[in-house]
Amino acid sequence: MEQDNTHNKSGEGGGFISEDWLALILGLVIFGLSLMSFKGTDILGWGAKTGVWIDPGKAITAISSKYQTVAGEITKIDGQKITVKKKDGKEASVTVDGDVSALKVGDKFEKKGMSSIMSVALTYLFALAIMTIGAVALGANVPKFMFGFTLAFWLSYLCWFMGHFAYIAATKDQAAKFGIPWAMSMSGEFGFILALILGLIIGNFFPGLANLMKEAARPELYIKTGIVIMGAGLGIKAAESFGLASNIMFRGFCAIVEAYLIYWAVVYYISRKYFKFSREWSAPLASGISICGVSASIATGGAIRARPIVPIMVSSLVVIFVAVEMVILPFIAKFYLWTEPLVAGAWMGLAVKSDGGAIASGAITDALIRAQALDAAGINYAEGWITMTATTVKMFIDIFIGVWAFLLAYIWVAKIDVKPGQKVDAAEIWHRFPKFVIGYVLTFVILVVMCWPAAKVMGPAEKEAAELKAAVTSIETKMKATTDATALAALKIELDGVKAQQKAVNDTMKEPKSFLSKAKSASSQGDVFRGLFFLLCFFTIGLVSNFKKLMEEGLGKLAAVYCISLFGFIIWVGLFISWLFFHGVKPPTI
């Protein structure tokens, strides 16, 4: 799970907190600030949102409408609230300060918002401030961290910006809107791949530049913080489709049980039988390859009291192979699994051996498959369900790392080493437990609990509203087709009754709809920083992937086991298990 073994995860240079706990705290702080939207205050509303672009000047806007430029023709005036119809045909509402008596429906209206440069600058300054506080808590070299983070931020954001270029990111339906003859349909998340590639180039060919960012190259800190924030958005989606979310969690649990029972045993057997590794090497290697990368290998190494060099060598391999998987697997899923999106999400969770790699791969797969499904079949899947599936599977794997370490510790103490007095108790399980998962669960559960009452009302109400709308259309069509006065009178009475029902249903939805709108606004503001931390994770994964140095340390034989196990059966068994448990389960459509 951990990829960056450059830094001490338990606090370094006088630090007083581990990276795991820090990610939990930072994620919850950002989540807490985003919740102020429920009070009508968009504290993070200035966060920079990057959209698909042809004109670079229009690529970036503030995430909250309160900070955006709103322009168009007035369609409604309700006190200080003005509703306008924009050029794209969509309506937007804005609250205006001062006298509005001179305004009337049909007038042109414009409210200037925050500039894109200011939005990005504030996003950078906030991220720098909160991560610098984290660097102090970790005991890092603060000036070097700030300088390295600044470089990493702007280089990563450049990749994110370029990844949203219309020829790269636009889907087929968007291409027409932008007036371009073709597009790669990669979606904006292709910026993650660009960031990874740039990081790999710098890390392997420009070591001097990579060294300047070394103090800020903490991919697991970024991804864990992002995952804590991500729980909120997934919580809203789960509340809106609770039956499907619980289904995913159950299937995810079943899938990881299969993974533990199959993956670990086979990798351990191959290491012992065919590569003649000792138990000290085989157990951490099996855990690192089959379960969750560095954390699993370190937990296993500690449980069996292996020498420190053993999990460190495995950790080095994780960095390389996760980078390879992240580049390859999402694109395989795009072309061959777009008809089974949740199979693809579970596959990322089972096959990619790090939290950072699995969740970020899930995010890319989410974007790629949604774009492919929309282009190929006109199906518009709701965003986030593929990512949630990958995350759920990966989180179950994380949760059981401590239990697995406990089991292996017991086996080694009781059956293999049999050293008097050596034991591992419940404290060992807690020590191995990935603390950031607590934050992910908290943000997820809090938003589910908050949104569930409103979502429970909205679901049936929206269905009824759609049925009533269809009924109105049907009645109006009949009225146009008849000239019989008696029939028209009867249809008019029926239409009035249906419209009365429509009004009642709309009134029922008004309050829960407003609540869910605030929830989504809060989630979207936090999601700006979730995306940013994912982006920094990709970039810094590349930075720490020094292929030449790792080969000089003698990783050839270990790499052979890793390669054979991963590409020989883990990826394909993971695909089969994913298919077995998630085949036919679809995300909601929009």
pLDDT at 295 > cutoff 50: yes
> For the chain, what is the mean pLDDT?
84
Q: Are residues 57 and 84 in the same domain?
A: no
Listed in sequence order, the residues at least 6 apart from 354 whose beta carbon sits closer than 8 Å to its beta carbon are 1, 2, 3, 220, 292, 293, 294, 318, 322
State which amino acid sits at residue 485. A
The per-residue pLDDT for 1 is 38
Residue type, 561: V
User: What local confidence, expressed as pLDDT, does residue 208 receive?
Assistant: 93
Residue 4, pLDDT above cutoff 50:
no
Name the residue range of residue 103's domain: 70-111
- pLDDT band with cut points at 50, 70 and 90 for residue 319: low
Q: Are residues 89 and 233 both part of a single domain? A: no
DSSP string covering 518-550: HHHHHHHHHHHHHHHHHHHHHHHHHHT--HHHH
**Residues 319 and 347 both lie in one domain:** yes
> Which one has a higher pLDDT value, 11 or 464?
464
pLDDT band at 470 (very low <50, low <70, confident <90, very high): confident
Least confident of 80-84, 202-206, 373-377, 415-419: 415-419
99 is a domain residue: yes
| Model confidence band, residue 428 (pLDDT cutoffs 50, 70, 90) | low
Determine the pLDDT at residue 3: 40
The pLDDT tens digits of the residues spanning 14-39 come to 678 988 899 999 999 999 999 999 98
94 and 173 housed in the same domain: no
Q: Of 61, 88, 111, which closes a domain?
A: 111
Give me the count of residues in the chain. Answer: 590
For residues 484 and 266, what is the distance between their CA atoms, to the nearest angstrom?
79
pLDDT, tens digit (0-9, with 9 covering 90-100), for 441-461: 899 889 989 998 998 888 888
- Flag whether 588 is in a domain: no
DSSP-derived pairing of the beta strands 48-50 and 108-111: unpaired
- Of the listed ranges 1-15, 49-63, 342-356, 403-417, the least confidently predicted one is 1-15
Please answer whether residues 170 and 185 qualify as being in contact, where contact means their C-beta atoms are separated by less than 8 angstroms: yes
pLDDT of 6 reads: 45
Q: pLDDT band at 420, cuts 50/70/90?
A: low
* 79 and 52 co-located in one domain: no
Which tokens sit at 587? 């995300």
Tracing tokens 């983070």 back to the chain, one arrives at 149
Neighbours of 33 (CB within 10 A): 19
**Both 209 and 94 in a single domain?**
no
Does some domain include residue 589? Answer: no
Q: Which residues contact 321 (CB under 8 A, 6 or more apart)?
A: 353, 562, 563, 566
**Same structural domain for residues 179 and 203?**
yes
Q: Which of 299-308, 358-367, 521-530, 575-584 has the highest mean pLDDT?
A: 521-530
93, 111, 129 - which closes a domain: 111
Buried/exposed 302-316: b ≥16 CB within 10 Å, e otherwise? bbbebeeebbbbbbb
- Over residues 342-373, the pLDDT tens digits come to 999 989 988 887 766 787 788 889 989 999 99
Residue 211: pLDDT over 70: yes
Number of structural domains (the chain) is 2
Mean pLDDT over 224-243 rounds to: 80
Cβ–Cβ < 8 Å for 238, 454: no
pLDDT at 315: 66
Q: Determine the Cα angle at 272 with ends 356 and 266, to 5°.
A: 55
The pLDDT tens digits of the residues spanning 165-190 come to 999 888 766 788 888 998 887 778 78
Indicate whether 11 belongs to any domain. Answer: no
User: Which of the residue ranges 196-210, 261-275, 401-415 has the most confident prediction, judged by mean pLDDT?
Assistant: 196-210
105: its two tokens: 């429906």
- Of residues 45 and 286, more confidently modeled: 45
| Whether residue 129 has pLDDT greater than 80 | yes
Rounded to two decimals, the pTM is: 0.75
Would you say residue 424 has pLDDT above 60? no
Query: Residue 382: its pLDDT value, please?
Result: 83
Handedness of CA 425, 437, 320, 260 (dihedral sign): positive
Q: Are residues 526 and 393 in the same domain?
A: yes
Same domain, 351 and 375: yes
Domain boundary, last residue among 58, 85, 111:
111
* pLDDT for residue 314 is more than 60: yes
Q: Is 1 among the domain residues?
A: no
- On whether both 165 and 196 belong to a single domain, the answer is yes
Position 10 in a domain? no
Specify whether the CB–CB gap between 550 and 316 falls below 8 A.
yes
Mark whether 374 and 511 lie in a shared domain: yes
Question: pLDDT confidence of 150, banded at 50, 70, 90?
Answer: very high
One domain, residues 144 and 77? no
Give the bridge partners for 165, in sequence order. 53
